[in-house]
Amino acid sequence: MPRQYELLIFDWDGTLMDSAGHIVDSIQQACADLGIPVPGERACRQIIGLGLQQALQTLLPDLPAGDYPRLVERYRHHYLGRDAEIPLFAGVREGIRELHGAGFILAVATGKSLKGLERALDYSQLRPYFSSTRCADQTHSKPHPAMVEEILDELLLERRQALVIGDTSHDMLMAANAGVDRLGVTYGAHLPEDLHGHAPVAVLDSFLDVKTWLLERT
């Protein structure tokens, strides 16, 4: 059968890398450092996927404007101190290689900074498999469609050829806003009910399920 999708656009945190807990912990420690009331885990998980500044402003909208740069600095202090230790989800390293070998074009659209993604690509040794990446400090943050649209333009592909794969409602909305199909995963930051409302083509429970679902459509 003809390949259903040519381009797979992956989110990074919570989709390929098991970093949601580390992100939550870093946000909470940063707030504690500044004496700000520490938000709960659920609230922190809901803003994962957005660009860092936007995420913190969404999580803590009443914070004085001058406190956000300090909070960003403390977050980065806690996150970057341990980011080399954050693992990929089970099956991701082999699965990405297999999908690449099967002829899919792979890309990343992430709320990480470019510097952060570069570090993660190097640590994970997955850099060679991705043809394009977009980060929140390069263009509009999710759920704006710019990341997807710029990747499509760069790779000279059409919307119907692409699938966005992510663990948050921000990923699903970005894809919908770009007119691109989306696939949700339940093992990351958001709950399944956060994903189902955005008409994904599937919602799957492991990266192995994602790989199998994709290869069945090759």
pLDDT in tens, 151-183: 999 999 999 999 999 999 999 999 999 999 999
Same fold, 7-19+87-215 and 20-84: no
pLDDT at 213 over 70: yes
Per-domain residue ranges of the chain = 7-19+87-215, 20-84
With tokens 């919570």, the residue in question is 14
pLDDT at 2 over 70: no
The residues, any chain, with a CB within 8 Å of residue 67's CB and separated by 6 or more, are 34, 36
Mean pLDDT on 129-135? 98
Which residues are marked as active site?
A: 11, 13
Mean pLDDT on 123-151? 97
Instruction: Name the 3-class secondary structure at 37.
Output: coil
Class (C level, CATH) for 20-84: mainly alpha
Residue 123 and residue 203: Cα distance in Å, rounded?
Answer: 28
CATH superfamily to which 7-19+87-215 belongs: HAD superfamily/HAD-like (3.40.50.1000)
Mean pLDDT on 177-194? 96
Residue 134 and residue 114: Cα distance in Å, rounded?
Answer: 8
Condensed to tens digits (0 to 9), the pLDDT of residues 81-92 reads: 888 889 999 999
Residue among 57, 72, 70, 171 nearest 116 (CA) = 72
Can you list the alpha helix ranges (DSSP code H) found in 102-202? 114-124, 146-155, 169-178, 192-196
Condensed to tens digits (0 to 9), the pLDDT of residues 5-49 reads: 999 999 999 999 999 999 999 999 999 999 999 999 999 999 999
Q: Quick one: CA dihedral 80, 115, 19, 33, positive or negative? A: positive
pLDDT at 73 over 60: yes
